[in-house]
Amino acid sequence: MASDSERKTKIQEIFEDEHRVAAEAEAALANPDLSAEEFREQFKLLTKKYKSLLKQAIKITSIGDSTQSKLIKTQQQLDQQYEELEKKNQTLNEKNDALVRAHEALLQSQQKAESIFSALTEALPGTVLDNKYRLDTKIGSGGYGAVFKSTHLTLNREVAIKVLQPKSGPVTPNDLERFRREGISACRITHPNAVAVSDFGISSTGIAYLVMELLYGRTITEELQEAGIMTPTRAAEILIPVCNALDEAHSAGIVHRDIKPDNIFLHQGPTGEIVKVLDFGLAKLMGNETQMNDMADLTRGVIVGTPTYLPPERLSNLPYDGRADIYSLGIVLYQMLTGKPPFILKKGNIGALVTAHLLQQPPPIRENRPEIPEELETFVLRTLAKIPSKRPTAKEFGEELGKYIPTKKKK
């Protein structure tokens, strides 16, 4: 029969083992690299260990049959709750997997449509739209259309015309009506830092187009390809005008929906560089209609926006407002400071990218750029908050960046 000292030693060992099991459980919960399946397997193993320790403790401490029965019953109840939790987790995982598959299918469909549209636009130079505009040279393209250097035939003036890419499937009267409303929205933005849209229409052959001012220069994407990264001052010089344009748009109830480096243009005008926000023709008026239109786009096979820059609320098909643009602009600022976005599409895995936007925190900026002020890094993380209400407004965004403009330049 074991002595009291031996029993105490054994009990102490069991308690220490219990602490180790608890520590392992905490580590598993805090490990972001564990998949759901790996977590379940580890949880089962830890549960098995804990049951074994519980039985040993009951035996050594000579707990009475009644108390032992209660403990076993409690454990059975915990097991039942765990099984129910497992079923709920499985259901949730299935729904998440279905959402990811849907996003992947939509992206593939969109990429195929873009490829076909790109080939078609090569044949458009020389085309005259509504006896008024001649498409001369293709100068750019993107997920929503192709841009042509064009001529206003009546005024003999150079303009830029964006021919919008049709959605997958036949064009419906609703599509044409929505494009008309989008054209009106684009014309409503008259800020000096937003590209000016002077006309829009649908030609007799069914080509939907926007007429814009012709710009000379390059996008942030092209500048980053050359520079790699930017200083806080250079980033502020570019993004403060963007914030001003977005502030006016949001005040008018308009969300841009596709803020990204390709849509921020550094126009070289007669007086120097002027920052221009492109593609306000794809903007939406805030309200219930915006949400319904987004859902319609998703069911038609179109992702409105660029996945690398889309905010969590839009990826989750939730209502959104101007702070959705702030998240996208925060991604752009992060990319300007580090040379790459915080979340990247790898090997076409749209599901992993969506999960990152929904759940993961961006890698710290100062890990690779310790010279970046800690205050600026904290602000960038605030713009990327998963909860929209925690993000700054466009006006607050610009005011914060103003701290990094030298006093002489402010004057």
Q: Is residue 123 part of a domain?
A: no
Kindly state whether residues 133 and 263 are assigned to the same domain.
no
Give catalytic residues, as residue numbers: 258
Give tens-digit pLDDT for 320-354.
Answer: 999 999 999 999 999 999 999 999 888 777 888 88
Q: Are residues 239 and 384 both part of a single domain?
A: yes
CA geometry: angle 158, 160, 163, nearest 5 deg? 140
Instruction: Out of 212, 239, 259, pick the residue that ends a domain.
Output: 212
Asked whether residue 120 is assigned to any structural domain, the reply reads no
> Can you give the chain as a three-state secondary structure string?
CCCHHHHHHHHHHHHHHHHHHHHHHHHHHHCCCCCHHHHHHHHHHHHHHHHHHHHHHHHHHCCCHHHHHHHHHHHHHHHHHHHHHHHHHHHHHHHHHHHHHHHHHHHHHHHHHHHHHHHHHCCCCCCEECCCEEEEEEEEEECCEEEEEEEECCCCEEEEEEEECCCCCCCCHHHHHHHHHHHHHHHHCCCCCECCEEEEEECCCCCEEEEECCCCEEEHHHHHHHHCCCCHHHHHHHHHHHHHHHHHHHHCCEECCCCCHHHEEEEEECCEEEEEECCHHHCEECCHHHHHHHHHHHHHCCCCCCHHHCCHHHHCCCCCCCHHHHHHHHHHHHHHHHCCCCCCCCCCCHHHHHHHHHHCCCCCHHHCCCCCCHHHHHHHHHHCCCCHHHCCCHHHHHHHHHHHCCHHHHC
What is the reported pLDDT for 187?
A: 76
Is residue 122 one of the residues assigned to a domain?
no
Q: What is the pLDDT of residues 10-37, one digit of tens each?
A: 766 766 776 676 677 767 666 666 666 6
**Which residues of the chain are modeled with pLDDT < 70?**
1-8, 11-12, 14-15, 18-19, 21-22, 26, 28-37, 39, 46, 50-51, 53-55, 57-75, 78, 95-97, 99-121, 142-144, 166-182, 281-304, 408-411
Per-residue pLDDT, 287: 47
pTM above 0.75, yes or no: no
* CATH number, position 138: 3.30.200.20
Average pLDDT, the chain: 80
Q: Is residue 121 part of a domain?
A: no
Inter-residue contact 157 to 143 (CB < 8 Å): no
CATH number at residue 378: 1.10.510.10
Domain housing 326 = 217-410
Say what the pLDDT of residue 99 is: 65
